[in-house]
Amino acid sequence: MFHPQYDQIQIATLNVRRLSTRERLTELQEALRRTYVDILAVMELRWRGVGCMDLVDSEDRFFYAGPEDAKAPSGTGFLVSKRIIPFVDTFQRETDRASRLDLRFGQHIIRCMSIYAPPSSHLGSEDEESYSKFLEELQILLAEPRSQKLCSNRGRCSNDMSQVHPLLLGDFNAKIGRKADGTESCVGMYGYGDGRNIRGQLVVDFCEELHLRVAATFFKTRSGRKWTWKSPDGNTLNCIDHILACPHLRFNCVRTGSLQFESDHRLLRGVLQWPKNSAKTRRKPHVRHYLDRAIYENAISNACPKTLDCSLSGYEELCKYISNAAEPATLPLESRSCLSKETLALMKQRHQLKKTISSPLDRLAFTETCKMLRRRIRDDIRLHHCQIVQKAVQSRQSLKKIRSGMEVGEMTVPIKICRGVRQGDTISPKLFTATLEHVFRKLAWDDYGLSVSGNQLNNLRFADDVVLIAKSTEELQAMVNDLDKHSLHYVLNISTAKTKIMASDGTTITLRGIHLERVESFVYLGQKISLDRDHTLEIERRIRAGWSCLRRYKEFFLSRTVEMKWKRELFNMCILPAMLYGAETWVLTKAAERKLASAQRAMERRMIGIRLLDKRTNAWIRGVTKIKDAVNTAKERKWAYGWELAMSNNIKWSRELMEWRPPLTRPAGRPKARWRDDFQKVFGTCNWQNFARMMTKKEWIDVLRCRIL
């Protein structure tokens, strides 16, 4: 017989792509004979009605929740093995795309949800909006009645409340990939593929909100065991089926498995290790002890001789005498209540009166007893505090402790404060920067790098974040070797693990015989930089940072008692700066503006407490929140930065690169948007700096607000 303390639960999900006939169901039964599965979530059934049936020639039970009519989406269901059937609590059809199976183990409920997400429609923003509505409906389904509590990683449920552990299985039609940054706790490092589509990001935000984890991304397996769907032509492989579980559900492994069944999806299975419900051991009462000085002094004077040998044996003998004398002098400290016996008796009397209230006179007696008890408790606490202070004054121990802590005594050791850094200690940032500057002044790189307006640009430095710029592989290799040689002379070591190479061709650079990793993009000074000059990935990172900041203050933003003006202040001070970090350098396209606006509207809906299903207009939402618009704020910051560059008289690489014209021609095709295009469209010329120099900063921003915003 199955017992959750010792056994494991084999859980899997599969898109069966039509299971509307008995023959098809028999085919699935035969395929599962070679694969042991306790719970199989199936979707796209096309099996009419809602119910369950025991399968012929099998010990499994089939729970199905099919569509009500031919126009409805295909249904979902479960196949449950014989040993799990006794633990099935409820099964019901939630929506056309979701069904629920509850497994009860004592006070714990594993809520299995079979999910079939709507397929992609390739309609851009409309597809994103429809998928967001689907996830919101799913989030509503996971809400529990008051007798149950949804499991999360924040605290535990009380003993008299059933704890629900959500487990979502199915075809989500979303590519999640690997963890994008350190702020994502729901995604592991071992996802399939590098890309993440819009739906995948929505699923990640959904998991972060409900504290769920994409189980398959936390287990390292070869890529051939991770994809779950193959395109009809066989050229495209994706992982769009997922297992989303709460942190309390621990899996031993999650990977795909082969199944002799006709479907373009593969079986995604995992081994669930249910936590052992060990009996709670009764904790021993914690008893405080104190040392009776009179007994200790008497015992040590009688047992310990006046003279001992100044040797190791003499020291051990002294320790033995001290321990033997302290043992009878250590007495338990009585934990006395600060309430008197009369007050405790009155509390028992109140408890009895509460049980026997049957008339207005009994109610009046109970009320007067409560008032009297409150007065007694207040007086007892005041008396207890007075006794503590009186005892401290009589013993004078507190005064002795204060004096010894404030006055410099004979045992105080003076410390001589010197200048410098000891060996092994963390080096001073200013000293490190000065040393690195000295190293670069020793380098003869006048001919290296790119010529920008007559000046050689070969490196950019900010503290220990250094970027080397070269025209060819040979030049970059020479610069790396030269920098490493001079750095070692001043005991500075270049980290090979943190050093990356980004080049337009297949460049291979080595450092002390170790090949440096070649990447397509990397994060420098908090901003993601790529070769194709596409800021979409960086804007998506900023949106994730905004959501992470919103979740950090979730209790504040979702509270119905907090006024909107305080939510607005916190949003403008914390979340908006997190979303628009580095916005001065962005090239804002229409697609990027839609991403920012969509994310901000979703955050505003969370602040108000509404959903997409409520169908509130954007104007109504902004009228309630009155927060700053993210897109307009990003444009204002960019224009303010452009004015500062134009007015700057100092030589800066930012200004030099802005005015630089590379001696190259653009490739054929539609040109990419450039940073200065916004200014050129307004003033009709590439010499927009001349207009900026003739205006004040306020006039410059007013031009933006009048012509663009």
Residue-wise pLDDT for 548-565, tens only, equals 999 889 889 988 888 999
What confidence tens digit (pLDDT) does each residue in 218-269 have?
Answer: 998 888 888 999 887 778 899 999 999 998 888 988 989 888 777 889 999 9
Residues above pLDDT 90, as percent of the chain: 23
The torsion angles phi and psi of 480, rounded to 5 degrees, stand at -65, -45
Mean pLDDT, residues 465-469 taken together? 90
For 475-503, b/e burial (b = at least 16 CB within 10 A) is bbbebbebbbebbeeeebeeeeeebebbe
Written in H, E and C, the secondary structure of 626-648 is CCCCHHHHHHHHHHHHHHHHHHC
Nearest to 437 by CA among 476, 490, 482, 477: 490
Count of CB atoms situated within 10 Å of the CB of 119: 12
The one-letter code for the residue type at 217 is: T
Give residue limits of the domains in the chain: 8-273, 341-384, 432-519, 631-664+671-709
Query: Which residue carries 């000065």 as its tokens?
Result: 434
3-state SS assignment for residue 82: coil
**Rounded alpha-carbon distances, angstroms, from residue 147 to 92, 150, 163, 249, 552:** 18, 10, 9, 21, 27
Can you tell me the distance from the alpha carbon of 365 to that of 487, in angstroms, rounded to the nearest whole number? 86
Tokens of 600: 């901000």
Considering the four listed CATH numbers 3.90.1170.50, 3.30.530.20, 3.40.50.1110, 3.60.10.10, the one that applies to the domain covering 8-273 is 3.60.10.10
pLDDT at residue 601, as a whole number? 94
- Who wins on pLDDT, 543 or 314? 543
Interatomic CA distance for residues 8 and 2, integer angstroms? 9
> How many Cβ atoms from other residues are within 10 Å of residue 529's Cβ?
16
CB-hemisphere CA count at 13 Å for 67? 15
* pLDDT bucket at 278, cuts 50 / 70 / 90: very low
Which of the residue ranges 333-342, 344-353, 586-595 would you say has the lowest mean pLDDT?
333-342
- Band of residue 158 on the pLDDT scale cut at 50, 70, 90: very low
- Does residue 621 carry a pLDDT above 90? yes
pLDDT value, residue 242: 94
Which position has the token pair 């090979």? Answer: 496
Asked if residue 78 has pLDDT above 90, the reply is yes
φ and ψ at residue 74, rounded to 5 degrees: -60, 150
pLDDT, residue 386, reads 85
Classify burial at 116, counting beta carbons within 10 Å of its beta carbon; exposed 0-12, middle 13-18, buried 19 or more: buried
Q: Residues 25, 270: contact at Cβ < 8 Å?
A: no
Average pLDDT over residues 440-467: 86
Q: What is the chain's length? A: 709
Name which of 111, 98, 29, 88 is nearest 67 in CA terms: 98
Element (H, E) at 99: strand 98-105
pLDDT digits (tens, 9 = 90+) for 177-216: 888 777 788 999 889 887 788 899 899 989 988 889 999 9
Per-residue pLDDT tens over the stretch 98-156: 999 999 888 888 999 999 998 887 666 778 888 888 998 898 888 755 445 556 554 44
Q: Which two tokens stand for residue 388?
A: 């503590």
Strands (E), 421-576: 450-452, 455-457, 459-462, 465-468, 500-501, 510-511, 514-515, 517-518, 521-524, 527-530
Average pLDDT, the chain: 82
Q: How far apart are CA 652 and CA 645, in angstroms?
A: 9
Can you give the pLDDT at residue 145? 54
pLDDT band at 666 (very low <50, low <70, confident <90, very high): confident
Quote the DSSP letter at residue 428: P
| Residue keyed to tokens 């916005």 | 583
Please name the helix (run of DSSP H) or strand (run of DSSP E) that holds residue 272, with its range, or none.
strand 267-273
pLDDT per residue as tens digits for the range 489-510 = 888 888 888 898 988 877 788 9
- Tell me: pLDDT of 1 over 50: no
Instruction: Report the C-alpha gap between 21 and 394 in whole angstroms.
Output: 91
The amino acid that residue 683 corresponds to is: F
pLDDT bucket at 398, cuts 50 / 70 / 90: low
12, pLDDT greater than 90: yes
Per-residue confidence (pLDDT) for residue 280, from 0 to 100: 39
Read off the DSSP letter of residue 572. Answer: I
Average pLDDT over residues 55-82: 82
- Name the band, by pLDDT with cuts 50, 70 and 90, for residue 46: confident
**Cα separation of the two ends of the chain:** 69
Question: If pLDDT is split at 50, 70 and 90, which confidence band does 608 have?
Answer: very high
Task: Look at residue 147 and give its three-state secondary structure.
Answer: coil
Cβ-contact 130, 173 below 8 angstroms: no
Regarding beta strands 162-171 and 108-116, do their DSSP bridges make them parallel or antiparallel, or are they unpaired?
Answer: parallel
Average pLDDT over residues 44-69: 83
Distance CA 612, CA 484 (A): 56
**Cα–Cα separations (whole angstroms), residue 638 to 60, 596, 635:** 63, 15, 5
Element (DSSP H or E) covering residue 305: none
Query: What b/e readout covers 382-414, taking b as 16+ CB neighbours within 10 angstroms?
Result: eeeeeeeeeeeeeeeeeeeeeeeeeeeeeeeee
pLDDT of residue 423: 55
Closest CA relative to residue 467, chosen from 433, 205, 476: 476
Residue-wise pLDDT for 411-446, tens only, equals 556 666 666 666 555 667 788 888 888 898 988 888
Distance CA 213, CA 47 (A): 30
- Residue 161 — very low, low, confident or very high, per pLDDT cuts 50/70/90? low
